[in-house]
Structure 1
Amino acid sequence: MSHDPYREWLRTRLGQELGLHGAETAIEGAVQRRGWPALRALGPRDVVAVLQDVYSGLRQTVGDTRADSWLQSTTVDLAEYAQTVPVPAQPTPGPLAPEATPAPLRWGRRAHDLPLLLARANAEIAGRSLGAIRADPTLRGLAGTAEWDVQATLAEVRRWETEKMLSSLRADHSRTEVADAVAAAAAQAEWLRLNVRELQAELKGGQNVVAQLAHARLTLTQLDAFLQAFTPLIEAGDADQPLPPGEARLDRDFFSLEVPLNPAVLRARHALKLAQWRAEAGQDAGAATAQAQQALEAAETEARAQLETTLHTARTAQARFAPLRQQVGALEERLKVLGQRGGDPLSLARVRLEWRQARAAARVQAHLLEQAMRLLESLVDAGVTSDQALNQGAAQNPEQTEN
């Protein structure tokens, strides 16, 4: 197997569109812009980053339609390639079992930190095992299988890093949504105060508005209690943050790498490769190989279902966000017109309340879309790659390995 199979695949694929010289220029430009070590082998997430760079250029030269079609078909082909070729991995330096055993970790950490610590430990063990396998001539044929193990453990690290990122993102979103709720409550309280004054005037004029007035006063009392409790807890400026555009590309093919790079799929693929190696080594592993194949197919099916669920969440949020954003824009224009025409305070307060409520509802959908997109991109985004950390600065291994 090539020392850098994904770079070779990328060079060949880009050569079809840009020519060999253009392909090499695109790859080297992406490497330099991101500060990647020149000799480090690329993985599928790195390839995605280069493809996104090329896609941006193609949009300018051949138009969005052709560029989208090219990126979609190339991503699907990359996903198929990722099912057969592991990311070239460098072994973790040091002995498999260090002489000095580190002190046990204290259990005072937050519970959600522990799975990430365990995943990182497993990734280090897998890297050390790969080094030991490559150093043993009798096990050298197992090196390709060990690379799948390294890739699976690093994907598990990435999974828990994603959970940590999403936890922080949801907390930020919750703070903003509470600020929106407080701003909407303040707008409603302002409208109710004006409404109470109007009802009081109508009552003095002889109109029968006693029940309406009592209900308005009761609601205002409840809102004032809510504002007294929550206003000190939020940053008022959070509610005035602009709404995001809410635009996202949600075609399944653009996320086809989610399946082969899913941690469970990679783990099942490693188990299958191990069973196949044992069968080739003369061990009676026919039944184990069949079971491993079935487990891989089951893991792929579940990964596809997870992808579809997340895509459905994103599409639903995007569909709900669009009309809400339009409503916010229409209300902003209405407020502007009322202000220019000297609209009465009660009408202005009512429109301002509707505007705040629409913004709050739109932001909830925008947040759901963002969370789904961050989850979708977590396995294929080259912005954070655990395998890069493992391979950082490592020289290319001169030995060839098999898949």
Structure 2
Amino acid sequence: MTQRPPSKDPYRDWLRRRLGQELGVQEAEQLLQGAIQRRGWPAMRALGPREVVAVLQDVYKTMSENIGEGRADKWLEEVSTELARLAETIPTPVEAPAPSQTPKPTPKPVMWGRRAHDLPLMLARVHAEIATRSLGTIRHDPVLARLERAAEWDVQATQAEVRRWQTEDMLSKLRADHARVEVADQVASARAQAELLRLTVAELHAMPRTDQASAAQLAHTQLMLTQTTSFLDVFGPLVTEQEADAPLTMLQMDLQNAHYSLGIPLHPNVLRARHGLNFALWQAADQGDAAPAVQDARRVLQQAEQEAGAQLKATLDAARGHQASLAGLARHVEELEARALKLQGLGGDPLSLARLRLEWRQARAAARIQSHRMEEAVRLLEALISDGAELPTETL
């Protein structure tokens, strides 16, 4: 009896079988093709675990709407375990180039002087490229054929390292953007505070100073106005104050824990630990699981999975906390806007309006911080587990 050759698209085959059990073969195939077209994936490209996760997320959403979250969560828990087991034995499919007959020219040395956080990503990409080229050479050399499995896991580990540093780079840029807008919020609040202080000083000047307390109040208010003006002189030119009027984002998002539980097998630390296990199994040969190095590698993998689960849970809990705080602050901002419109309509005095405007600016700045911290947490989760699709956001 001839042994069937290993599938060239094992994750697609597994996904077809698994979805076929729930939806039927025809509907499972339609759902898979729909997900591929919607995301713009090449039709003939072999799928990996990250693409499988994206399709499973689609199915989970549909099941939650049709049969309820409880049953959908139970299904997702089962399928997550099965996917993790599959990922332990089958690396992500890699299209490795055939070795070139004409050697490429030696690249020019990297110019130093770049930002420090760029360098680890550059290094990780070089390692991934070297690993992919090595795999291509091994696949086209019969003498090296027995090394192909280990080389495939090496590629997966180096690609995980690239994704890790890409995530760090994305978060670094995101935090820089957020910091710029938060400074703009602070400048806008300071400008509103300066206006309130100016009106307060004018009012205190107009009042008769009959005692020492009123004189001290005037002196203190003038001192605060001087300090606020100094702050504006320094930071005002550094920002675009219109950014402080940008709408708040990330208000409505479904942060279901079950959705993110798929992320553990895709966490870079888990992928690297899985590479270590498979490399140890390859070295152990006939000893298999009995080899001490394999047992150590299994413990490292279990620890990596536990730590990845804890990180995903902590990040998700943080995102939920920021979302709850943001919702409360957003309501407060709306209340202040309504009060300001009402006071303006009634012809309120400039001092009361300035006081309300300052409170509104401060509330918006606080809400913005919660919005940004929530977005950073969610983007980290998505970077760890998603296929790279953009997240939906809602604005206020």
Shorter-chain TM band: 0.7 to 0.9
Structure 2 counterpart SS, 1:307:
helix
Name the CA distance, whole Å, in 2 between partners of 1:103 and 1:115: 18
The answer (yes or no) to whether the contact 1:96–1:128 under 8 Å persists in 2 is: no
Q: TM-score, with normalisation over the residues of structure 1?
A: 0.85
Aligned position for 2:50 = 45
Contact 1:96/1:125 (<8 A) preserved:
no
Matched, 1:359 2:357: no
In structure 1, which of residues 115, 119, 123 is the aligned counterpart of residue 120 of structure 2? 115
- Report deviation, 1:277: 1.7
Q: Is the alpha carbon distance of 1:65 and 1:270 closer, same or farther for their aligned partners in structure 2, counting shifts above 3 Å?
A: closer
In structure 1, the partner of 2:226 is: 221
| CA displacement at 1:179 relative to structure 2 | 0.5
In the superposition, relative to structure 1, how do residues 58 and 308 fare at CA in structure 2: closer, same or farther (>3 Å)?
closer
380 and 206 in structure 1: CA distance in 2 versus 1, 3 angstrom threshold = same
Match of 1:286 among 288, 291, 300: 291
Q: Residues of 2 paired with 1:59 and 1:303: CA distance? A: 25
Higher alpha-carbon deviation: 84-93 or 266-275: 84-93
Matched, 1:340 2:350: no
* 1:211 shift after superposition: 1.2
Contact kept, 8 Å, 1:95 with 1:128, in 2: the verdict is no
Q: Which residue of 2 aligns with 1:371?
A: 376
Q: Which amino acid aligns with 1:153?
A: T
Is the counterpart of residue 160 in structure 1 residue 165 in structure 2? yes
247, 255, 258: which one aligns with 1:253: 258
CA distance in 1: counterparts of 2:40 and 2:357, whole angstroms? 48
Q: Name the structure 1 match of 2:140.
A: 135
Corresponding residue for residue 89 of structure 2 = 84
SS in 2 for 1:377: helix
Q: Residue 385 of structure 2: SS of its match in structure 1? A: coil
- How far is 1:298 from its partner? 3.0
Specify the code of the residue in structure 1 equivalent to 2:23.
L
Q: 1:299 to 1:71 in 2, by over 3 A?
A: closer
SS at match of 1:260: helix
- 2:11 pairs, out of 6, 12, 20, with 6
Following TM superposition, by how much is the alpha carbon of 1:314 offset from its aligned partner in structure 2, in angstroms? 2.1
Residues 321 and 75 of structure 1, relative CA distance in 2, 3 Å threshold: farther
- Paired letter, 2:353: L
Aligned Cα root-mean-square deviation (Å): 3.0
Q: Tell me, yes or no, if the aligned pair for 1:275 and 1:285 is still in contact at 8 Å.
A: no
- Which whole-Å CA distance do the structure 1 matches of 2:64 and 2:308 have between them? 31
1:34 shift after superposition:
2.7
- The amino acid across from 1:356 in the alignment is R
CA distance in 2, matches of 1:144, 1:315: 41
Deviation at 1:146, TM superposition (A): 2.5
8 Å CA contact 1:246, 1:322 repeated in 2: yes
- CA separation of 1:146 and 1:384: change in aligned 2, threshold 3 A: farther
Q: How does 1:208-357 map to 2 (within 5 A)?
A: 208-280=213-285, 286-357=291-362
Aligned-residue sequence identity (percent) comes to: 57
Q: Structure 1's 339 and 123: CA in aligned 2 closer, same or farther, altered over 3 A?
A: same
Deviation at 1:66, TM superposition (A): 6.2
Q: Contact conserved, 1:153 with 1:263, CA < 8 A, in 2?
A: no
> Residue 26 and residue 283 in structure 1: after superposition, are their counterparts in 2 closer, same or farther (change >3 A)?
closer
Out of 78-87 and 93-102, give the one that drifted further. 93-102
**1:31-65 deviations in whole A, cap 9, x for unaligned?**
22333221111112212333344455556655677
Distance (Å, rounded) in 2 between the aligned partners of 1:314 and 1:193: 40
Contact 1:75 1:253 in 2 (8 A): no
For 2:239, the aligned partner's letter is: I
CA distance in 2 between counterparts of 1:63 and 1:246 reads 24
Instruction: Assess if the C-alpha contact under 8 Å between 2:98 and 2:140 holds in 1.
Output: no
CA distance in 1, matches of 2:102, 2:273: 26
**Deviation of 1:193 (Å):** 1.4
Deviation of residue 192 (structure 1)? 1.2
Query: Does the C-alpha gap of structure 1 residues 133 and 283 become closer, same or farther in structure 2, counting only changes over 3 Å?
Result: farther
Seen in structure 2, the aligned counterparts of structure 1 residues 216 and 11 have a Cα distance that, compared at 3 Å, is same
- Code of the residue aligned with 1:363 in structure 2: it is R
1:319-362 Cα deviation digits (max 9, x unpaired): 33222222112211211221222222211111111111011011
* Mean CA deviation greater in 223-232 or 277-286: 277-286
Preserved CA contact (<8 Å) 2:318 2:377: yes
**Cα gap change, 1:102 to 1:302, in 2 (>3 Å):** same
* Maintained 8 Å contact 2:50/2:266: no
Q: Is the 8 A contact 1:44 1:380 kept in 2?
A: no
Asked if structure 1 preserves the Cα contact closer than 8 Å seen for 2:138 and 2:144, the reply is yes
Distance 2:37 2:289 in 1: 49
Take 1:47 and 1:225, find their aligned partners in 2: how far apart are those partners? Answer: 56
**Corresponding residue number in structure 1 for 2:185:** 180
Q: 1:13 to 1:339 in 2, by over 3 A?
A: farther
Name the aligned partner's letter for residue 165 of structure 2.
W
User: Highest relative contact order (Cα 8 Å, sep 6+), 1 or 2?
Assistant: 1
Task: Give matches, 1:374-393, under 5 Å.
Answer: 374-383=379-388
The alignment's TM-score, normalised by the length of structure 2, stands at 0.86
* Cα 1:293/1:334, change in 2 over 3 Å: same
Query: Comparing 163-172 with 331-340, which one deviates more in the overlay?
Result: 331-340
Listed one character per residue, the Cα deviations across residues 166-193 of structure 1 (whole Å, up to 9, x for unaligned) are 1111111011000000111111111111
* 1:233 aligned partner, one-letter code: L
Paired AA for residue 243 in structure 1: L
SS of aligned partner of 2:292: helix
